[in-house]
Amino acid sequence: MKTTKFLQLSSLFALCLGLMSQVAFAQADAGAKIRGDAWNGGRVQTYQRHAQDRSQLLFFYAQSKEPLPKQDAKDLVSGIQKDLTEAEKALAKLKADHAKEPDVVKQIALIEKHHARAKEVCGMAAEQCEKEHGDHVAICDCCTDMWFELDAAQVETQKLLKMLKIEKLPIPKKAGDKKAGDKKAATDKKPEAKKADK
């Protein structure tokens, strides 16, 4: 009988220890949502948006009546090129991780095609920005082409993320927000409870 109780207690202890370690692992691994495919997919999207935003800024900057400061224009163009390079690095990691999945590789190729075209047009804009009095119309046309290529790349990236079953990350919340929400929910329930008592 003592042996049976000892075995029951030891198995209960082992079960509790196992559950505690799983809880501790889950808490320590809160970043799991943004690893691997989610991390690289998020990076692709982020850098595409940055490049698109910069192309839009350059477009409107080039349309102003004042001469476009050469250094500012060069900074925007080099920023677009850097963003595209970073997006391509993240895409390359996704491609390597899913090399045996033809649909994923094909989808990545579509994105790469739009990135290549955006880089090509960005190079043309860079040439105009190097000139003392760059052709503002040509710069604006390049920016328009870049914007639409990046928009198309983002559409294809959304399709890729859906294929990889990468969900959109939730909006970040402060640690206290949940408690504040719980207090509000508890406060909202109190009047109902009082009505039910009457």
Go through 180-191 and write b for each residue having 16 or more CB atoms within 10 A of its CB, e for each that does not: eeeeeeeeeeee
pTM assigned to the model? 0.70
Note the pLDDT of residue 13.
Answer: 53
Note the pLDDT of residue 21.
Answer: 47
- Which of 111, 100, 122, 109 lies closest to 51, judged by CA? 122
Least confident of 36-45, 61-70, 88-97, 176-185: 176-185
- Which of 66, 56, 64, 45 lies closest to 125, judged by CA? 56
Note the pLDDT of residue 1.
Answer: 56
Residue 118 has pLDDT above 50, yes or no: yes
Q: Enumerate domains of the chain plus CATH numbers.
A: 33-164 (1.20.120.660)
Note the pLDDT of residue 35.
Answer: 63
Q: Cα–Cα distances in Å, from 164 out to 36, 42, 125? A: 11, 12, 34
Residue 48 has pLDDT above 70, yes or no: yes
Higher pLDDT, 24 or 115: 115
Note the pLDDT of residue 198.
Answer: 46
Note the pLDDT of residue 159.
Answer: 96
Least confident of 25-29, 77-81, 122-126: 25-29
The average confidence (pLDDT) of the chain is 80
